[in-house]
Amino acid sequence: MTKILVTYLSHTGNTKKIAQAIFEGLEGDKTIKSMDEAQEIEDYSLIFIGFPVHSHSVPYKIETFLKKIPQGKKIALFSTHGSLPGSHLAREALEYAAVISSKAKVLGTFSCRGKVSMAALEVLSKSPEHKAWSEMAPSSHTHPDEGDLEDAKSFARWVMTLSAQD
Ligand SMILES: Cc1cc2nc3c(=O)[nH]c(=O)nc-3n(C[C@H](O)[C@H](O)[C@H](O)COP(=O)(O)O)c2cc1C
């Protein structure tokens, strides 16, 4: 039977909520662990890996984890971000994550918005690097919402179907 791991990095809880929804959407032999607890991955045949977009990219811890994934391991990637869905600002990090996991078999990707605290926004929006996404971010304050959690569950089920066909 497929052994599934859901692992995530989350500083303010948004990505963790999505990870929990993915976990709920899955059936079978499943485990959920934060990235810090999930260093032994050999036993798992499918791994969901989630992260918050930071500075248009993948947090360093996740980058290191993705680069170590063994050849051919089945994975699915998910992220949360403050910028508008579909904007290149939201897509780039997930695309980069897929590129650096190129030894793995990426079965799917999912992303949704996650609220950014007003205090963080006030600080970040002052730096040119963060200007573009932080201008979009205030409208993310209701996310992840119920719809995002439902979408995450559907994503989990879809990836499981793909994994079973593989
Ligand atoms: C230091 C920092 C950098 C961020 N950089 C980006 C960014 O480049 N693009 C973006 O869309 N959101 C950015 N965000 C917003 C987070 O990706 C978003 O709030 C995410 O949902 C946080 O997830 P978490 O609660 O799991 O930590 C940034 C947030 C912080 C604190």
Residue 23 has a CB neighbour count (10 Å cut-off) of: 19
> Within a 13 Å sphere around the CA of 25, how many CA atoms are in the beta-carbon half?
22
**What spacing in Å lies between the alpha carbon of 65 and ligand 1's midpoint?**
19
Instruction: Give the distance (Å) from ligand 1 centre to CA of residue 68.
Output: 24
Q: Which domains occur in the chain, in start order?
A: 3-165 (3.40.50.360)
Check residue 90 and give its pLDDT. 84
Indicate which atom in ligand 1 lies nearest the CA of residue 116. Answer: 19
Q: Which residues of the chain have pLDDT under 70?
A: none
- Angle separating helix axes 14-25 and 146-165, nearest 10 degrees: 50
64: left (phi over 0), alpha (psi -120 to 50) or beta: alpha
| C-beta 11 within 6 A of ligand 1 | yes
Distance CA 24, CA 141 (A): 24
pTM of the model: 0.97
pLDDT at 63: 96
The residue nearest atom 30 of ligand 1, judged by CA position, is: 54
- The rounded distance, in Å, linking the Cα atoms of 148 and 78 is 12
pLDDT of residue 148: 98
- CA dist 68 and 123 (Å) reads 33
Identify the residue whose tokens are 């949704």.
112
- Predicted pLDDT at 15: 98
User: 13 CA to middle of ligand 1, Å?
Assistant: 11
